Amino acid sequence: MNATKFWDGLYERRSAGTPKVNARLAEIAGPLTPGTALDLGCGGGGDALWLAARGWRVTAVDISGAAVRSLRERGAAITALRVDLAEDFPYGSFDLVSAQYFHTPFELDRAHVLRTAANSVNPGGRLVVVDHGSAAPWSWDQNAQYPTPLEVTAELALDPVEWPVERAEASERHATGPAGQTATVVDHILVLRRGER
């Protein structure tokens, strides 16, 4: 099975109901002044819809055509694109680039994608990377080893003068799975802000 079929299958099964915003994105972006936003790996579109409802001009991308179609059908003012980030990257510059749980069981140079994403951030804008720090019981990958925020920072190798760290931490959260099951999980949170030029 390839990446597109895997993620299409996942989002075809999750098409019912209204997608919810990721708690960490709401926490981080809630106080920000709306501008342009890029949602990497938008999935069901909960983050993109939440941002758009708060006045952000959102570009949302995913490898899954099923996820992108579902988001387009919701009729929100969002640019939803099917993009395989292993091969391409959306055009534009953004005040916020969000990569929420941007993991895959398929080969992907994630650090390269996130460095490309950083290059698309406007001066004064933010790159937000929220990773799993633990595997929820309903996760598709129970044996994954997730990088810490400092390891992600090191992988990105961005100029620390241009990219000061606003937040780098592991934090617990009460989570609800797709079938309503609950668990305490750990999130790895990294927020980098691009310096003004």
Domain covering 3-193 assigned CATH 3.40.50.150 in the classification: yes
In the prediction, which pLDDT does 40 show?
98
Render each residue's pLDDT in the chain as its tens digit; 197 residues. Answer: 788 888 888 787 765 667 889 999 999 999 999 999 999 999 989 999 999 999 999 999 999 999 999 899 887 889 999 999 999 999 999 999 999 999 887 888 999 999 999 999 999 999 999 998 887 777 766 677 788 999 999 999 999 999 999 999 999 998 887 778 888 999 999 999 999 86
Contact predicate 89/63, CB 8 Å: no
In the prediction, which pLDDT does 13 show?
74
In the prediction, which pLDDT does 176 show?
82
Spatial distance between the Cα atoms of 143 and 134, rounded to a whole number of angstroms: 9
Crossing angle of helices 65-73 and 3-13, rounded to 10°: 40
Contact predicate 3/109, CB 8 Å: no
State the burial class of residue 64 (Cβ atoms within 10 Å of its Cβ: 0-12, 13-18, 19+).
Answer: buried
In the prediction, which pLDDT does 42 show?
95
In the prediction, which pLDDT does 10 show?
77
